[in-house]
């Protein structure tokens, strides 16, 4: 059983009062269904599952009135099993295939007899078909492929080792050379294997890159099939062209996605919905340019200038046929796009919004992310020149931006030089945004209004 951080989120949800339905979203084949099955088996006396993609007839349960009594009667008859109130979890899998089930969630949650988890992979693609959303009765949590920490645990790294590395990250002190070299080799394997659960499990069981690659190519074919199946007529060709172009666009020196490479007549406004389709499906990760590295980053982004990363670095390697170069030690400048994709994937999975900065006066900084009210610039170096970072130096010297900390992710060991911390690439697993406290009470003193 692969250890997933989303498990803790499920436990927190179950322990909460006034539970809503939990919607797990994310790309296809990232482990949503498997995780819920394992969770249901461990925490509930009974577990029921409807998969609307595999069993289209299950939608008939929701054809009639959507009140809780009717739906539950239909559900128990369809499943031919007794459901125990207060002790049953019901999984509505691939719920985008049954829009009326999404609407029924409101009434089922109000009824309160059972707990409900929904999973969906292409929810935004089918939004127009949902008669009414269960606003106020559903909370969402987005899953991603296994991040590097989860991958380490799947491959036998002990939690105590992760804790030791986190301590070195926190204190900005180097790790031993033996540990560093071992973690760098593990990192190299991750950028080839990636974080798709089936692929990670196959690698952990066999360590056979040939079998890993076959699985990855099957997944790429599945994503292309989804484009053919779900994308609407005239959008299908645009979406497929964008998806197919991601590896070559990232391999370009400045990484920025150039529509002109798809077609000389391509225009941003005509392709905007196609980019959104891929992002909403969880297949790609857009990273937008910002006018200045100042908070809030979301409000000063340039939506027409962006990089487009794959949701999984292993799939990017498979699509680029780069596996053997990397495993042979080819983590050089020409591998920068793949290493940058790895960092984008880590940052997104940890809760950061993805942005970068590129100004004519300053140069380009690979990522700028927001943690609380602070903006953190991040440079990614795949070669041996990680101490050279002119653009990063330029923006750190702008007083009005008040940038207090920056990171350079590289092949070297941990080091601190003024405001810049050098971190091994594998330590990107410890970059996390500041979390809001669970309670944030705020009360206005009204005494001045009293007579």
Which pLDDT belongs to residue 269? 52
The whole-number average pLDDT for the span 380-397 is: 94
What the chain holds in terms of domains, given with CATH numbers, is 6-142 (3.40.50.300), 148-430 (no CATH)
Least confident among 55-69, 109-123, 268-282, 333-347: 268-282
Task: With residue 365 as reference, give the H or E element that holds it.
Answer: strand 363-365
Residue 148 near residue 157, CB atoms below 8 Å: no
pLDDT at 261 over 50: no
Residues 6+ apart with CB under 8 A from 442: none
327-330, long-range: CB < 8 A, 24+ apart: 327/188, 327/189, 327/192, 327/209
pLDDT at 333 over 60: no
Which pLDDT belongs to residue 293? 95
The whole-number average pLDDT for the span 160-188 is: 97
Which pLDDT belongs to residue 264? 46
The whole-number average pLDDT for the span 155-183 is: 98
> What percentage of the chain exceeds 70 in pLDDT?
91
Most confidently modeled of 17-21, 62-66, 265-269, 426-430?
A: 426-430
Pairwise CA distance, residues 326 & 310, whole Å: 18
pTM of the model: 0.91
The token pair that represents 272 in the structure block: 């905007």
Mean residue pLDDT of the chain comes to 89
In terms of DSSP bridges, do strands 355-359 and 301-310 run parallel, antiparallel, or are they unpaired? unpaired
The whole-number average pLDDT for the span 154-174 is: 97
Which pLDDT belongs to residue 325? 74
């Amino acid at each position: 059983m692969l250890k997933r951080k989303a498990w803790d989120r499920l436990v927190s949800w179950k322990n909460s009062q006034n539970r809503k339905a939990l919607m797990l979203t994310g790309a296809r084949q990232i482990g949503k269904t498997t995780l819920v099955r394992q969770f249901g088996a461990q925490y509930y006396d009974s577990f029921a599952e409807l998969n609307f993609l595999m069993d289209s007839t299950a939608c008939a349960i929701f054809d009639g009135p959507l009140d809780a009594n009717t739906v539950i009667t239909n559900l128990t008859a369809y499943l031919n099993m007794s459901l125990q109130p207060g002790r049953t979890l019901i999984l509505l899998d691939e719920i985008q295939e049954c829009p009326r089930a999404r609407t029924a969630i409101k009434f089922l949650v109000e009824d309160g007899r059972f707990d409900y988890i929904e999973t969906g992979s292409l929810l935004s693609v089918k939004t127009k078909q949902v008669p009414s959303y269960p606003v106020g009765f559903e909370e969402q949590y987005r899953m991603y492929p296994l991040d590097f920490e989860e991958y380490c645990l799947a491959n036998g790294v002990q939690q105590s080792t992760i804790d030791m590395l986190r301590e070195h990250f926190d204190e900005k002190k180097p790790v031993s050379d033996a540990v560093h070299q071992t973690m760098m080799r593990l990192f190299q394997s991750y950028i080839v294997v990636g974080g798709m659960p089936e692929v990670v499990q196959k690698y952990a069981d066999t360590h056979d890159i040939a079998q890993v690659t076959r699985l990855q190519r099957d997944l790429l074919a599945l994503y292309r099939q989804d484009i053919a199946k779900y994308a609407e007529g005239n959008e299908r060709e645009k979406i497929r062209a964008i998806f197919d172009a991601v590896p070559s666009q990232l391999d370009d020196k400045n990484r920025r996605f150039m529509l002109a490479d798809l077609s000389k007549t391509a225009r941003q406004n005509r392709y905007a919905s196609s980019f959104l389709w891929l992002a909403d499906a969880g297949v790609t990760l857009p990273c937008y340019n910002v006018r200045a590295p100042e908070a809030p980053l979301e409000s000063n982004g340039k939506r027409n200038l962006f990089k487009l990363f794959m949701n999984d670095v292993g799939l990017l390697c498979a699509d680029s046929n780069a596996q053997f170069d990397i495993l042979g030690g080819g983590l050089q400048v020409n591998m920068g796009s793949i290493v940058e994709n790895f960092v984008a994937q880590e940052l997104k999975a940890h809760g950061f919004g993805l942005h970068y900065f590129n100004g004519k006066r300053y140069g380009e900084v690979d990522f700028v992310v927001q943690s609380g009210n602070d903006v953190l610039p991040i440079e990614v170096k795949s070669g041996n020149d990680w101490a050279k970072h002119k653009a990063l130096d330029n923006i750190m010297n702008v007083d009005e931006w008040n940038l207090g900390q920056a990171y350079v992710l590289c092949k070297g060991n941990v080091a601190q030089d003024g405001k810049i911390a050098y971190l091994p690439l594998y330590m990107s697993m410890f970059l996390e945004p500041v979390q809001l406290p669970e309670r944030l009470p705020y009360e206005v003193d009204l005494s001045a209004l009293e007579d």
